[in-house]
Amino acid sequence: MAIREILTVPNPVLKEISQPVEQVDDALRALMDDMLETMYEADGIGLAAIQVGVPKRVIVMDLSGPEEKAEPKFFVNPVLSDPSEDKRPYDEGCLSVPGYYETIERPEKIKLTYLDYDGNEVEEIAEGMFATCIQHEMDHLEGVLFIDYLSRLKRQRAVQKVKKFEKEKGRDAA
Ligand code: GNR
Ligand code: NI
């Protein structure tokens, strides 16, 4: 397993549309293992493959708390349907927009089908934090970031904040 670099805005790769996976094989599982390790190291709760520069429809997630037993989840070729009318607001963040948070409203409940780590078909209903997170991750597969739902002014501020942060980080490393 290896930790991979997480791409941040305004990297244009984050706008790419990810392509369906043809086979859940050992090579794909190696990617998913790397993604999970990268997500844990960054203290994230979800990660889409495009965030490490791989345009495949793959998501990893772990919604367990820091004191709880790890609950890694893997989603290959996920499809969402039947979103609820009820919305859930949540103060979202993104590892590709580090240090910036904003409230986003999304359907509070949604149906989900995908292939798991072993390539088995799964169908389930996502609610609450699971629903918020899977929709945030699904957006990444379409090249959409949560800041794309904000006004242009707020989005530009978010990107500027990340650029400044990255610049200072680079200086520290030097
Ligand atoms: O770690 C993350 N936290 C988070 C909080 C609220 C809504 C969505 C997320 S996902 C994010 C990790 C990430 O960027 N996934 O793409
Ligand atoms: Ni994200």
**Using one digit for the tens of pLDDT, what is the confidence trace for 15-65?**
999 999 999 999 999 999 999 999 999 999 999 999 999 999 999 999 998
Q: How far is the CA of 36 from the centre of ligand 2 (A)?
A: 14
pLDDT, position 115: 99
pTM of the model: 0.97
pLDDT, position 32: 98
Residue whose CA lies nearest to ligand 1 atom number 1? 44
Ligand 1 atom closest to the Cα of residue 44 is 1
Fold (topology level) of 12-169: Peptide Deformylase (3.90.45)
CA distance 9 to 32: 22
Q: How far is the CA of 78 from the centre of ligand 2 (A)?
A: 16
Pocket of ligand 1 from Cβ distances under 6 Å: 44-48, 51, 90, 92-96, 132-133, 136-137, 140
Query: DSSP string covering 31-90, please?
Result: HHHHHHHHHHHTT-SEEEGGGGT--BSEEEE----TTSPP--EEEEEEEEE---SSEEEE
Q: How far is the CA of 78 from the centre of ligand 1 (A)?
A: 17
**Catalytic center residues:** 137
DSSP letter at 38?
A: H
Domain ranges (residues) in the chain? 12-169
